[in-house]
Amino acid sequence: MQIDDYNNAAVFSQFPVYGLNSAEKQAFLQQRLNWLTHHHATHCPEYARLLTCIGEVNSPMCNIEHIDQVPPVAARLFKDYGLKSIKDEEVFRLMRSSGTSGRQSQIYLDADSAKLQSQILVKTLQHWLGKQRRPMLIIDAKETMQNKNGMSARAAGLQGMSFFGRNHCYALDENMQLRIDEVKSFIEQYHNQQIFIFGFTFIVWQQFIQALQSLGLKFNLQQAILIHGGGWKKMQQQAVDDKTFKQQINAQLGDVSVHDYYGMVEQTGTIYMQCEHGHLHCPVWSDVVVRDINSLAQLKNGQQGLLQVNSALPTSYPGHSILTEDLAVIHGEDDCPCGRLGKYFTLHGRVPNSQVRGCSDTFS
Ligand SMILES: [Zn+2]
C-alpha cells in the first residue's frame, strides 16, 4: 500500500477492518497519531500542559518513531476536566460514561468526529454481521433510550447497535422484566433467519438467560449471533466466566455464535470484538499497549498490566491515546488462528481502587 496522506479520513476509513499487518499499521498510525498529538497540543491547553509535564513537548512537539510511544492520557482525566480541542459552539454531542461508580467522563464531539466514529463502527460491525440488516432482539428496555440528561453510554450503545438490525424487539419491559409473549412471537416469526441479538453482558445473563431458565423455556435458533459487552465485574461476582456464559446461551437459545466486545465512551467508534478463539481484536484504526501498573514500562506479550488504547479517530478531544484502568494481556499480533491481522488480547478485570499513576497534578 502506498499512501501519502494518512490524515485523510476518507482514505483510512476505507481500510480493511483487520487487513493491515504490523508494518503497514505502524506506517499509518505513526503518521496519524503524531498528527493528532500536534493537533490536540495546539487546540487543547490542558493537553499541551500534560505534554510539557512529561517532557514531551519540545522534542519537537512529541514526534514519536513507534506507535507504542504515544504518551497516554489517564482515563480519569476525562472525568476531572472538560478536555476538548474544539470551540464551545462546535460541540455537536456530549457523551457521558455510565458512571455507576461516581463521576462520569465527558466527551465532546463535533459533527465530523461523530460522523467518523459512526462510519468506523459500521464498518467494524459489518465485518461480523454482514451488510444485510437482520431481525434484531434487543435485551434491554425501550425506556433505556429515553434519558433526558444527555446520552448514557448504555443508551448510546443500544442506539448504535440498533442500526444493524430490523424489526426490533425489546426483550425487557421498563422494570427490566422479560416480555415473554413478545420474545416468543419474535422467535417464532424469525427462528430460521439469522437473528441478531444484542445486550449488555450482565443484563443478558441475569434478566434474559436466567429468566428463561427459571421458566424452563428453550429455543432452537439457527445461525443467530449475539454481541454483548459492558464488562464482567458483576459476572465474576456470580462466578460466571466466558465459557459458562456461552454454554448456557447455547443451552437456552440453540445455535448462537457469541461475541463479547470491549469499548469505552472515551473512544466511541473503536470497538474490540471477540473472535471465535476468545481473543479481542484491534481493528486497523486502533492499537494497544500493556504497561506495568507501577512503573508504566511497556510489558511484553503474555504479561498482564494496564491497557493503553490508541485510536486514529478522536479529533475533537485529546483521546487518541488513553491509559485505561483495565488489566489486559496481549497474546500476539497478526497470528491469531482466526486469521485476522492486528494485535489480540484478553481482559482481566480492573485495577483495584483505581488510582493509576500519571501526571494529573499539572491540571489543578
Ligand atoms: Zn482471532
**Residue 129 scores a pLDDT above 80:** yes
d(CA 192, CA 114): 36
The proportion of the chain whose per-residue pLDDT surpasses 90, expressed as a percent, equals 70
C-alpha 123 – ligand 1 centre gap (Å): 18
Instruction: Dump pLDDT digits (tens) for 243-272.
Output: 999 999 999 999 999 999 999 889 989 999
- Residue 107 pLDDT > 80: yes
Q: Where are the domains of the chain?
A: 9-109+275-363, 120-262
pLDDT in tens, 271-301: 999 999 999 999 999 999 999 999 999 999 9
Residue 120's pLDDT band (cuts 50, 70, 90): very high
pLDDT > 80? residue 183 = yes
Give the closest residue to 286 by CA, choosing from 226, 352, 341. Answer: 341
Bridge partners of 222, per DSSP, are: none
CA–centroid distance, residue 49 to ligand 1 (Å): 39
Q: For residue 51, what pLDDT band results from cuts at 50, 70 and 90?
A: confident
Distance 334 CA to ligand 1 centre (A): 9
Q: How many CA atoms lie within 13 A of 164 on its CB side?
A: 27
Portion of the chain with pLDDT greater than 70, in percent: 91
The answer to whether the 9-109+275-363 and 120-262 domains have the same CATH topology is yes
| Burial degree of 121 (CB within 10 A; 0-12, 13-18, 19+) | buried
pLDDT over 60 (residue 348): yes
Written as nine digits, the cell of 132 is 444485510
Q: Is the pLDDT reported for residue 212 higher than 70?
A: yes
Q: What sign results for the dihedral spanned by CA atoms 19, 22, 28, 32?
A: positive
Check whether domain 120-262 has CATH 1.10.10, yes or no: no
346 Cα: distance to centroid of ligand 1 (angstroms) = 11
CA of 126 to the centre of ligand 1 (A): 16
Q: Can you list the alpha helix ranges (DSSP code H) found in the chain?
A: 9-12, 22-43, 45-53, 77-80, 111-129, 153-162, 180-190, 201-203, 210-215, 233-237, 242-253
Using CA atoms, how far apart are residues 178 and 251, in angstroms rounded to an integer?
18
Question: Separation of 278 CA from ligand 1 center, angstroms?
Answer: 7
Of 30-34, 157-161, 343-347, where does mean pLDDT reach its minimum?
A: 157-161
* Rounded distance from Cα 275 to ligand 1 centre (Å): 5
- The CATH number given to 9-109+275-363 is 3.40.50.12780
Residue 296 alpha carbon to ligand 1 centre in Å: 27
Average pLDDT over residues 350-355: 70
Mean residue pLDDT across the chain = 89
